[in-house]
């Protein structure tokens, strides 16, 4: 029996995207965004939503670029910290000890220690309410060589994690359950 | 050392959203969408991206409504099947044996057997390229009572899963790693 719990922003899984930007003075910043996801295959795009009160929001409007950095479990403390401090008041990357690298493709920094990064050029901005929805075209994906398997990113090596908004907790990735576009084939036939 | 792998749509985690719609003849349909995520807190919104070749795309344009249904691991076969067949040619819900329930809030069906469902009214449509990006305002969330913990959805009971686009595989949810907005506090102080 289903019970109504009201109009809440609960889905599974929510990502933990660390957004890399430069401010007007070229100070690199990193923030933690749970609202977002891939939004187009061609051109490849990823969308993220930010409140305009955030420092990163202003940086994206000004630079028209951002990176999406996927942290591994090993950096859960740093990723969480990026979500509870503002770049307006501090240099979060310096405090974290992580290394911002200037992208050669877009006007934004990525985080060297995070296993997978997307370099994005802003292509669409939509005001939805409290959040502005930014869509970036993915110009390149960079992955640590250690985390590749036959040239493809390996989720089991990368060990990303996800955000549970219901209880405000992080969870790791579990077991491989089956092959997509395959495990349901018997129902089709 | 980071290696460029080109402009790919790889992030972690990608969701497995089952989108519920009605066609012009009130036939319920379900499709599997991996591109999407929460996009605004107030009003609460979720965005999904679909190719206009899909049957669901036309249904959303016509009905201006959809549901987002989160399947549990127990329904991985049905969820996968919804992604490899088209409602244009068959009644996927009938074939799957799952139960479409008419929403009282929006002009779309949700799936009774799936633990968590969002009822959404279309509020924004943006053409990004191959995919159309639909944003729905979440009017209500309904959860199976068995999967609530003190009134909140419990990810460990719901057992959602995620899609790895790199190797086209599904993965379960792993261990709880820590409390959000908390585990990185020592870096802030």
Beta strands in chain B, from DSSP E residues, in sequence order: 2-6, 17-22, 28-33, 36-41, 44-51, 65-70, 100-102, 109-111, 116-127, 131-144, 148-149, 152-153, 161-164, 169-179
For B176, the closest of A34, A154, A171 (CB atoms) is A171
What does the DSSP 8-state code read for residue B91? -
List phi, psi (to 5°) of B155: -60, -30
List chain A residues with CB under 8 Å of B142: 2-5
Can you tell me whether residue B94 is helix, strand or coil?
Answer: helix
In tens digits, what is the pLDDT along chain A, a chain of 189 residues?
899 999 999 999 999 999 999 999 999 999 999 999 999 999 999 999 999 999 999 999 999 999 999 999 999 999 999 999 998 989 999 999 999 999 999 999 999 999 999 999 999 999 999 999 999 999 999 999 999 999 999 999 999 999 999 999 999 999 999 999 999 999 987
- Please provide the distance, in angstroms rounded to a whole number, between the alpha carbons at the two ends of chain A: 31
Cβ of A37 within 8 Å of Cβ of B44? The answer is no
Give the per-residue pLDDT at B89: 87
The alpha-helical segments, DSSP class H, found in B17-122 are 55-63, 76-84, 92-96
Cβ of A5 within 8 Å of Cβ of B124? The answer is no
- Please provide the distance, in angstroms rounded to a whole number, between the alpha carbons at the two ends of chain B: 31
Cβ neighbours of residue B88 closer than 8 Å, sequence gap 6 or more = B55
CB within 8 Å of chain A, chain B residues 84-143: 84-85, 95-96, 112, 116-118, 123-124, 126, 128-131, 133, 135, 137-143
Closest CA to A35 of B47, B181, B160, B123: B47
ipTM score assigned to the predicted complex: 0.97
pLDDT for B146 beyond 90: yes
| pLDDT tens track for A17-28 | 999 999 999 999
Closest CA to A19 of B183, B127, B171, B11: B11
Cβ of B78 within 8 Å of Cβ of A42? The answer is no
| pLDDT tens track for B3-47 | 999 999 999 999 999 999 999 999 999 999 999 999 999 999 999
List chain A residues with CB under 8 Å of B70: 11-12
**Rounded alpha-carbon distances, angstroms, from residue A92 to A106, B32, B94, B170:** 21, 38, 53, 34
Q: Which two tokens stand for residue B54?
A: 């899909």
3-state DSSP helix/strand/coil % of chain A, to nearest 5 = 20, 45, 35
Confidence of residue B1 (pLDDT cuts 50, 70, 90): confident
- Rounded CA-CA distance A7/B69 in Å is 14
Can you tell me whether residue B84 is helix, strand or coil?
Answer: helix
Closest CA to B10 of B180, B143, B163: B163
Give the per-residue pLDDT at A159: 98
User: For the domain bounded by B17-188, which CATH number is listed?
Assistant: 2.30.110.10
- Rounded CA-CA distance A181/B13 in Å is 18
Cβ of B123 within 8 Å of Cβ of A123? The answer is no
Q: Are strands B169-179 and A169-179 parallel, antiparallel or unpaired?
A: antiparallel
What is the maximum alpha-carbon separation in chain A?
A: 60
């Amino acid at each position: 029996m289903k019970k109504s719990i009201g109009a809440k922003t609960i889905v599974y899984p929510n990502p933990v995207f660390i957004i890399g930007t430069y401010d007007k003075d070229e100070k690199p910043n990193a923030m933690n965004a749970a609202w977002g996801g891939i939004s187009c295959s061609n051109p490849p795009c990823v969308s993220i939503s930010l409140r305009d009160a955030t420092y990163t929001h202003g940086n994206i409007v000004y630079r028209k670029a951002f990176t999406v950095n996927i942290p591994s479990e090993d950096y859960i403390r740093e990723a969480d910290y990026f979500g509870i401090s503002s770049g307006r008041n501090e240099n979060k990357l310096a405090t974290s000890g992580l290394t911002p690298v200037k992208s050669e493709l877009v006007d934004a920094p990525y985080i060297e220690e995070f296993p997978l990064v997307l370099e994005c050029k802003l292509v669409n901005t939509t005001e939805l309410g409290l959040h502005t929805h930014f869509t970036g075209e993915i110009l390149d994906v960079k992955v640590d060589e250690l985390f590749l398997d036959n040239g493809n990113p390996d989720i089991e090596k990368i060990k990303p994690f996800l955000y549970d908004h219901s209880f405000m907790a992080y969870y790791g990735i579990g077991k491989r359950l089956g092959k997509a576009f395959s495990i349901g084939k018997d129902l089709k036939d």
